[in-house]
Chains A and B, each alone.
Chain A
Amino acid sequence: QKEVEQDPGPLSVPEGAIVSLNCTYSNSAFQYFMWYRQYSRKGPELLMYTYSSGNKEDGRFTAQVDKSSKYISLFIRDSQPSDSATYLCAMSSRMDTGRRALTFGSGTRLQVQP
């Protein structure tokens, strides 16, 4: 079993739709949770960063962490064609802080149709 599971998609939605992207994980030591957006042939860029459980909102993006269920989500409101990209979840534990490396999901490809 992979440490982090993420549906690869593609997920196709019409412009203006609410998008829900999700990851599940198995390592209960994970405490730091991130979402990255990766456009084709580019490096990932950090979208959202949360620590422990709860919600965090930034503009049209909301990150949600449920540690009891080992489940994290990214919601995109009023989706735009420019949101079309691959979204990667990533996480790490306090024990990783020496090397501070992240464990990534495989990414979900999102297509927002105009």
Chain B
Amino acid sequence: SQTIHQWPATLVQPVGSPLSLECTVEGTSNPNLYWYRQAAGRGLQLLFYSIGIDQISSEVPQNLSASRPQDRQFILSSKKLLLSDSGFYLCALSRGNTEAFFGQGTRLTVV
């Protein structure tokens, strides 16, 4: 069965510091991978999606970037964090036609 590993679970970072969140997938090959952000009281906002190695599409302009150096690895990064980057970040993969299977998320607080 498919498994998504996300780490860390919780992160507190100062404004202006860099960020690297990693997501790795097991139990499947060539998945579509996604990064979502969930703000308090709001739905999930799609940030990036990837259909393959080094193939990244950005959904919204922002202070973040994503990379997929390996088939089962998806990384979310920032060079300088802003306060507005705080939120709950979720990695997901698509399964079947449209289902999404989520990792357990990283709660980022920028202080």
Total A-B Cβ pairs within 8 A: 64
Which of A41, A92, A97 touches B107 (beta carbons < 8 Å)? Answer: A41
> Considering the chains assembled together, what is the distance between the CA atoms of A88 and B105 in angstroms?
16
B 54-111 contacts with A by CB, 8 A: 57, 59, 88, 90, 92, 94, 97-105, 107
A 69-98 contacts with B by CB, 8 A: 88, 90, 92, 96-98
Q: Which residues of A have CB within 8 Å of B103?
A: 43
Which of B43, B46, B97, B105 touches A106 (beta carbons < 8 Å)? Answer: B43
B57 touches A99 (CB 8 A): yes
B41 touches A46 (CB 8 A): no
Which of A43, A90, A97, A104 touches B97 (beta carbons < 8 Å)? Answer: A97
Interface residues on chain A, size class = 20 to 34
- Residues on A lying within 8 angstroms of B by beta carbon are 4, 6, 8, 32, 34, 41-46, 49, 88, 90, 92, 96-102, 104-107
The 10 closest A-B pairs by CB, nearest first: A43-B102, A104-B43, A100-B94, A106-B43, A32-B98, A104-B44, A92-B98, A43-B104, A43-B105, A99-B49
List 13 extra interface pairs beyond A4-B43, A46-B101, A101-B49, CB under 8 A: A32-B98, A34-B100, A44-B44, A46-B100, A90-B44, A92-B98, A97-B97, A98-B51, A100-B98, A101-B59, A102-B100, A106-B42, A106-B43
